[in-house]
Amino acid sequence: MKTEADGNDITEHPHDDKSTPYLCTVCDKRCKTKEQLTAHVNIHTDKYQCTECGMCWQSSSALGRHSRIHSGEKPFECSACSKRFTTAGGLVVHSRMHTGEKPYKCHTCDKAFSQSGDLNSHMRVHMGDKPYKCSLCNKSFSQSGNLQTHERRLHSNRRPYQCPYCGMMFKINCEVRRHVRVHTGAKPHSCRHCSDRFMWLYQLKRHLLESHNEGTCLTCNICQKKFIYNDDFKLHVRRHEGVKPYICSECPERFCTSSELKQHQLVHSDIRSFACGLCAISFKRKDSVLRHFKRCASRLGFSDIFDVTSV
């Protein structure tokens, strides 16, 4: 029998699926018994309303957890870093940063994640689902974060993030964090087999491959050079073949990669996005401002303050 629930009204009608004969008319979910259907229908009735923002919740406990957002109450504290959270679930997710726990595993490639939402986004890669489309170039992405990064890097000239050491400006905050390592000498990537640490992830992967025989490498059949990343290998082969698919719109020059084309296009532009933090002279290229900053710091006597040897 098929049962349709509309508010408190429950009526029965014939239906082929006799294992779940009770139908919720709000979301089309099916239940085995009337009791289960009645309990389910209550989900669609939000009885508890927040006096601060007007949001409604299905239980008083859910409203209580939500109210902490307005009161600033954070009763759950991380024992590792003392960071506090409004909910126990938030603390559990955060604690995985310290433990390295990744309970959500992709069954296609075995890649693991600390949050279920990250796994759901990752699964779109295997399914080919790209629901996030750039409004300027129509390029599609499987994750909203990738779309945001794409828009900032390619369609925006804003560089709101500045290096505190050399004044270089960046479009994305993570680029600043990586760049700062050049000045501080930080080595966040550690080997799980020995005490060696590395500044960059590719250095760690190369170390694992060469010293501990962990991982795989790709070998060029022409020059026998070995590569860790498939993209680097493909680019290397492209150079052997002389393939240059990226053409400058201002002149006949051609390039193997889009980044090389972007660097070249600076020749045709008057935009100087990189500024020295010591004298405010600006440059078109990143490597130019780095070379200048090294000379400028030495000339002004700031060599002891800034680690110019690593710039």
Q: What is the DSSP letter of 255?
A: E
Say yes or no to pLDDT of 163 above 70: yes
Please identify, in words, the CATH class of the domain defined by 104-154: alpha beta
**Alpha-carbon Rg of the chain, whole angstroms?**
28
Considering the chain, what is the average pLDDT of its residues? 80
b/e map of 60-85 (b: 16 or more CB within 10 Å)? eeebebbbeeeeeeeebeeeeeeeeb
Say yes or no to pLDDT of 135 above 50: yes
- Cα 291 from Cα 282, distance rounded (Å): 12
The three-class DSSP label of residue 182 is helix
- Cα 283 from Cα 293, distance rounded (Å): 11
Identical fold, 48-99 and 104-154: yes
For the segment 15-59, what is each residue's pLDDT rounded down to a tens digit?
Answer: 555 677 888 877 778 888 887 887 777 666 657 778 877 777 777
**In the chain, pLDDT over 90 holds for what percent of residues?**
2
pTM over 0.85: no
Nearest 5°: the CA angle 37, 40, 44 is 130
**Least confident residue range of 48-62, 212-226, 284-298:** 48-62
For the segment 243-290, what is each residue's pLDDT rounded down to a tens digit?
Answer: 888 888 889 899 888 888 888 887 887 777 777 877 778 887 778 888
Identify the residue with better confidence: 141 or 39. Answer: 141
Sorted by where each begins, the domain ranges of the chain are 2-44, 48-99, 104-154
pLDDT band at 303, cuts 50/70/90? Answer: low
Has domain 48-99 been given CATH number 3.30.160.60? Answer: yes
